[in-house]
Structure 1
Amino acid sequence: MLTGKQKRFLRAKAHHLSPIFQVGKGGVNENMVKQVQEALEARELIKISVLQNCDEDKDTVAAALAEGARAELVQIIGNTIVLYKESKNHKEIVLP
């Protein structure tokens, strides 16, 4: 579980990132969760965009992705979700 200070630090780091995944009409599926896990292992911090045609609510999508990838939900801002998971092999981000 992240503290408020850690979430603030990660939000600042995520500000300059571009979304690398888009959740659309298909919603969240097993394949997408697997790809998100791999991306989190490589990058630790990622943004995911929820498209207008997505059938599910953005909060539901964020919860499903965070739970499926065993990641921490840092922020939902607009239609963008920010997820963080500490990498086992490529640890770059040092939390305060």
Structure 2
Amino acid sequence: MQSLQQKASEWSGVAASDAFAIDDTNLYQTLGGIQPFIDLSTNFYNRVYEDEEEWFRSIFANSKKEEAIQNQYEFFVQRMGGPDLYSQRKGNGNLSLRV
């Protein structure tokens, strides 16, 4: 059975030794900038909003897909070593520090 770290390495293209070392690795640079995060977030939310289960789609009924995509990719970009797009637009990314 393949470990989660091995799968993460295979799927992301990041070396296995770095797969869980996001604090030591700038994944924003390693993955080539903002586009992989936009693609990931877009793919995720397209699947969420097109899910066959009504109860699941209803969880997101009061949010706009475009805003959800932007929030997610900006948060990931910031957390993975890129510019602080999320904080500039939404405030502190740490929800426990937001007022």
Tell which structure's C-alpha radius of gyration is larger: 2
More strand per residue: 1 or 2? 1
TM-score normalised according to structure 1 size = 0.26
> Which structure is richer in relative contact order (CA contacts within 8 A, separation 6 or more)?
1
TM-score normalised according to structure 2 size = 0.26
